[in-house]
Amino acid sequence: SLNVSKDAVADYLTRAAAAGLAWPLPAELDDGDLEQRLFPAFTNASATAKVEPDWGDVHQSLKVKGATLQILHEEYLADHPDGMAYSYYCQRYRDYKKTLKRYMRQVHVAGDKVFVDYAGPTIKIVINRASGETKQAQIFVGVLGASGYIYAEAVWSQSLPNWIASHARMFEDFGGVPAVVVCDNLKAAVTRASRTDPTVHATYLDMAGHYGTMIIPARPYKPKDKAHAENGVLVVERWILFRLRKRVFTSLVELNTAIRELLAEANNRPFKKMPGCRRTAFETIDRPALNLLPVDRYEFAEFRRVRVGLDYHV
């Protein structure tokens, strides 16, 4: 016995007939779809009260190796315990995908590209305990295209010296240099943005020459050009910055120590439907294909165009 009254059974049969359903049910009809067909008013009303995820972020996250809707739904419920059920979450994502334009999937070659950017959120550091004065640290993120391996560190600003120094430390962490660096159009990287002929900062080009790599700025308003960077930033924001938001830091060194610990966890998180993790993929795919590091770290140089004086001096 299922302990269901005759009236309840009759109600279900009436609802099924009104929804055009007959036994046996279609194989492609899951529990969420069935619930919506039988109780459209209830499911629609309850869904409107649920917090909608950023489906663009969900779609980008699914491009990361090992990412699944189930994992993203678990992360969503961690932030919104009263959020939508998994079946309806999947349905809403399918609806979102129907709104997207079709495009060719990018294929990344081992050791070919690293995507770099800054995370949106910053981390507060107390620089004067007596006065309580604080300063916000920026988070630099680099993601290798083939393995998805992530590098991240905190710096004081998005200035040119910090931008260049972060690249040098990132290459040293990788133990090699990828053939191409794909960057966003921030001031430290690009002096003139353009879809066809951007002007890369002279110091940035000089650094690229030292390491034997190439700089390719992402096209303005073309997020697919830097999807890996956005994915890496999303992982850093979720698995590192979110977990550090309540901690009090008193130095950049202390913050970077905490970032490295959590970053190791993120890179070591097992893939869901394939063996290994970002780190093992990096060790077997990207690292063997990277170019060798130069003997010396790049020495920062600043280039300026100036007018020669009447006495032939600058």
Q: What is the pLDDT of residues 195-204, one digit of tens each?
A: 777 788 899 9
Does residue 314 lie within any of the structural domains?
no
Over 28-63, what HEC string results? CCCHHHHHHHHCHHHHHHHHHCCCCCCHHHHHHHCC
Helix, strand or coil for residue 139?
strand
How far is the CA of 9 from the CAs of 3, 12, 16, 33, 254, in angstroms?
Answer: 11, 5, 11, 19, 63
CA gap 179, 30 in Å, rounded: 46
Does residue 106 lie within any of the structural domains?
no
**Residue 234: domain span:** 113-289
CA gap 236, 259 in Å, rounded: 9
User: Residues 167, 276: one domain?
Assistant: yes
The contacts of residue 217 (CB under 8 Å, 6+ apart) are 182, 183, 184, 185, 189, 190, 193, 198, 200
Does residue 267 lie within any of the structural domains?
yes
User: Residues 61, 170: one domain?
Assistant: no
**pTM, two decimal places:** 0.63
pLDDT digits (tens, 9 = 90+) for 215-248: 998 876 565 556 666 788 888 988 899 889 889 9
User: Residues 175, 86: one domain?
Assistant: no
Q: Which residues of the chain have pLDDT under 70?
A: 1-4, 32, 39-49, 60-61, 63-66, 100-108, 194, 220-229, 272-275, 306, 308-314
CATH number (domain holding residue 209): 3.30.420.10
pLDDT at 156: 96
Residue 55 in contact with residue 93, Cβ under 8 Å? Answer: yes
User: Residues 84, 118: one domain?
Assistant: no
Q: Compute the C-alpha angle 221/64/101, nearest 5°.
A: 45
User: Residues 19, 52: one domain?
Assistant: yes
Domain boundary among 33, 66, 97: 97
Counted domains in the chain: 2
User: Residues 204, 238: one domain?
Assistant: yes
User: Residues 74, 185: one domain?
Assistant: no
pLDDT at 253: 96
Does residue 56 lie within any of the structural domains?
yes
Does residue 312 lie within any of the structural domains?
no
Residue 147 in contact with residue 115, Cβ under 8 Å? Answer: no
CA dihedral 143, 144, 145, 148 (to 10 degrees): -70
User: Residues 184, 279: one domain?
Assistant: yes
**The two structure tokens encoding residue 228:** 């890996």
Residue 52 in contact with residue 92, Cβ under 8 Å? Answer: yes
pLDDT at 111: 86
Angle at which helix 252-268 crosses helix 227-236, to 10 degrees, equals 110
CA dihedral sign, ordered 274, 278, 281, 285: positive
DSSP strand E in 161-295: where?
180-183, 190-192, 199-200, 214-217
User: Residues 278, 133: one domain?
Assistant: yes
